[in-house]
Amino acid sequence: MARTYEFLDHPGPIAFAHRGGAKGLPENSLPAFQRAVNLGYRYLETDVHATADGVLVAFHDRTLDRVTDRTGPIARLPYAEVARARIGGTEPIPLLADILGAWPGARVNIDIKDEPAILPLLEVLHRTRAWNRVCITSFSTRRLAALRARLPMVTGQDVCTALGPRGVMALRAKSYGGPAAKLVRLAGTGIACAQVPYGLGPVPFVTDAFIAQAHRLGLKVHVYTVNKPAEMDRLLDLGVDGIFTDDLVALRDALAVRGLWNTV
């Protein structure tokens, strides 16, 4: 069975503000996170990159180009230059430490976007003592393995992490009758949840069988990035354990109508 984590101690499905709730305000900006908190969101989601001089910023893309008024790869730029960029032309890029410090009652789901961010992330979590209120994930199985290998040495703490892509696909295969031995091992090594897309194109990724298999292994199922109320309702009917959204009001309303909106 998977271990228990304070991060996952929440009554009912978890509502995650994806990139702070990217609809309406610049994504991964402090105003976006503040709006999420003001709406009652207890769980924030963000991404991390490290600058060339090892400063950990909360930002999704590898380059500044798409959402800021500057260009260039973050990993090759000093923080002094990255700090001049403005998201949407108005908001500075926050440090992960800024987010952890500004809302000490919030829990933060952290997506490692590049390997150079691993050691700075461990340093920030060690400095802020935020181990019990984070969950760490990545779209790279290798990055997650590198992080997990360093966690005991750096922290001595047990930190909530999610399945990587290989584990997710193994879980999906098992939901269709495949082997489960590897997943059973993973569920006992700090991996407490599967964070997965709600669909692959027109085909649902999250099904009754997928959720049932995850729950048998003691894994929570968190689904991203869900912005349509009809899809929110489908997933809640299936019994998912969490939903990531850009549309904070729509998800809040979908949970509230079921009596599942919990901010405590």
Task: Name residues whose C-beta falls within 8 Å of residue 254's C-beta, 6 or more positions apart in sequence.
Answer: 229, 232, 233, 236
Strand pairing class (199-200; 203-204): antiparallel
> How far apart, in Å, do the first and last CA atoms of the chain sit?
26
Q: Are 65 and 129 in contact (CB under 8 A)?
A: no
Residue with tokens 């991390």: 48
The values of phi and psi at residue 41, to 5°, are: -75, 130
**CA–CA separation, 139 and 237 (whole Å):** 27
Angle at 262 between CA 207 and CA 97, to 5 degrees: 95
pTM reported for the whole predicted model: 0.94
Picking from 25, 84, 18, 89, the residue whose alpha carbon sits closest to that of residue 57 is 84
Catalytic residue numbers read 18, 60
Residue 202 pLDDT: 83
Q: Report how far apart, in Å, the C-alpha atoms of 168 and of each of 95, 183, 240, 244 are.
A: 29, 9, 15, 17
Domains of the chain by start residue, with CATH: 6-62+97-256 (3.20.20.190)
Q: Are 119 and 60 in contact (CB under 8 A)?
A: no
Q: Per-residue pLDDT tens, the chain, 264 aa: give them.
A: 457 899 999 999 999 999 999 888 999 999 999 999 999 999 999 999 999 999 999 999 999 999 999 999 999 999 999 999 999 999 999 999 999 999 999 999 999 999 999 999 999 999 999 999 999 999 998 999 999 888 766 555 678 999 999 889 888 888 887 666 565 555 555 689 999 999 988 889 999 999 999 999 899 999 999 999 999 999 999 999 999 999 999 999 999 999 999 765
